[in-house]
Amino acid sequence: MTPTPLTTLTADEIAFRDAVREFAAGEIRPIVGEMERAGRIHPDLIPKYFELGLMGIQVPESYGGAGGSVMMVTIAVEEISRVDAAAAIMVDVQNTLVAYPLLTYATEAQKAAYLPRLCSASVGAYALSEAGSGSDAFGLTTRATKVDGGWQLSGRKLWITNGAEAEVFVLFATMDPAKGYKGITAFIVERSMPGFAVGKKEDKLGIRASSTCELLLDGVFVPDANVLGEVGQGYKVAIETLNEGRIGIGAQMIGNAQGALDAAVAYLKERRQFGKALAEFQGIQFQIAQAATELEAARLMVYNASRQKDAGEDIATTGAMAKLFASQVCERVTSLCVELFGGYGYTTDYPVEKFYRDAKIGAIYEGTSNMQLQTIAKAVLR
């Protein structure tokens, strides 16, 4: 008997994919332009995410979640990204960067306090990056000072996805910068805590409806009960979380590329030049075939990393490979689709210019492409 390939979807996963696809087409597609112009996620969309269980896909049902898998998170992010990557990243961050570290490192009391909220009503965010701490992820300056009964946090975070909407933050600070990564601790921080404020919202090239904000911490008191994981072990929480997060970014990229390719194929069948449809020209056919092949290869890499994560395997390398390749393919495919539309592709009258702009972020956040290459090289050359 031939083994079933890891990337084959089960009947339940296909049904889930089709449900998310229908939701994205019916509920998200009609408001993509409005969200893009407003630069924010439509407020009516977020409650629908919670109603559908998309904000707690991996969370066990005992905490109010859907009891699903990493593979199902991947499917959801991919399908929403086929319509709007900005709308998808909220779901991605909620599941991979917020729910996952809580499921993995939180105490039972923390899980009981926060997971039901995150599955039903509260948007979450992951706060690691700072002005001088991007690829050097642990060069943090946000300080955590021990005080009676807890910690006092002071500093500034940048590039925080979901920052405008989030009520719960997985936030990293250092007890002592001289200790390097060993000084990092993870905290569960609430927006309502005194001294906590959301600052500037960035005006971005792509994923414009997704909020990217700075966070300002002015002596925020965080009780000992809100330390996530062990004191001084925040680097471990951050690394493991980002490993799963990179699968989510890979899913966003393959979905974004598929959306652009779908739009291009439909256009090529309709647009006529020299007496026939553009899709009938062999030169066009070959370009589409190449794009479809690369996209399928990227999809298989992302799906395989998802399966490996669900199986409890180490995905540091395969996750990095999936994110790297998916982001590269997404840039190539969306760029080609703009060209295939000709002058129309450069206008906002057609969707491919947005897919193209939304593609670029894949090579930057949750670890730049160069950082992925470094991770892969270490594994290959060890």
φ and ψ at 351, to 5 degrees? -80, -15
d(C-alpha 382, C-alpha 364), whole Å: 26
Residue from 132, 156, 158 nearest 213 by CA = 158
d(C-alpha 247, C-alpha 306), whole Å: 7
Would you name the residues annotated as active-site residues? 366
**Dihedral sign of CA atoms 74, 80, 81, 87 in order:** negative
d(C-alpha 281, C-alpha 267), whole Å: 13
